[in-house]
């Protein structure tokens, strides 16, 4: 079961985010999904959502900001119904960041850790810790500290 759970997470990033195969949302995501990850500049967790609809909206939102975005799953571990992945994301900012900050035209490359709970062969819950500071520094949204 552990290998099947790890493969679900790999498929999520490869099929939905890298290949833009949104049909995979229904295959991989539980309808009753609990999202704990905040969007950058967000102030609350989404909570209970429709999994396939939510992950498609997240992918579309992210790809609107980074049309060439790519996620590389570098490591995946699993124990019981929990799967954790270390993911390197990169891309060029060509759309408004979170619909707020004008596009910078700059590239970023930063890591995130994603944790999922699997239920009945589908992803049912998600937590994320992203390195948003590194991303914002690379995009020039946040100035680097130090002398001018």
Q: What is the mean pLDDT of each run of 10 residues along the chain (148 residues)?
A: 93 98 98 89 83 96 96 98 98 93 97 98 96 95 85
Q: Which residues contact 54 (CB under 8 A, 6 or more apart)?
A: 29, 33, 35, 46
pLDDT in tens, 28-45: 999 999 999 887 767 788
- pLDDT value at residue 148: 67
Question: Bridge-partner residues for 84, per DSSP?
Answer: 77, 115
82-92 and 70-79 beta bridge pairing: antiparallel
- pLDDT value at residue 67: 97
Please give the class, per CATH, of domain 2-139.
alpha beta
Q: What is the pTM of this model?
A: 0.91
């Amino acid at each position: 079961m552990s290998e099947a759970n790890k493969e679900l997470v790999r498929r999520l990033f490869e099929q939905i985010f890298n290949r833009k195969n949104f049909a995979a949302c229904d295959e991989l995501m539980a309808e009753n999904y609990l999202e704990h990850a905040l969007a950058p500049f967000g102030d609350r967790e989404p909570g209970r959502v429709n999994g396939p609809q939510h992950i498609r909206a997240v992918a579309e939102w992210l790809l609107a900001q980074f049309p060439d975005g790519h996620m590389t799953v570098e490591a995946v571990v699993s124990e019981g119904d929990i799967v954790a992945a270390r993911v390197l994301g990169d891309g060029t900012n060509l759309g408004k960041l979170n619909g707020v900050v004008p596009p910078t035209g700059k590239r970023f490359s930063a890591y995130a850790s994603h944790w999922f709970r699997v239920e009945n062969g589908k992803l049912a819950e998600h937590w994320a810790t992203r390195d948003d500071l590194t991303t914002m520094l690379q995009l020039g949204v946040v100035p680097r500290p130090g002398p001018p």
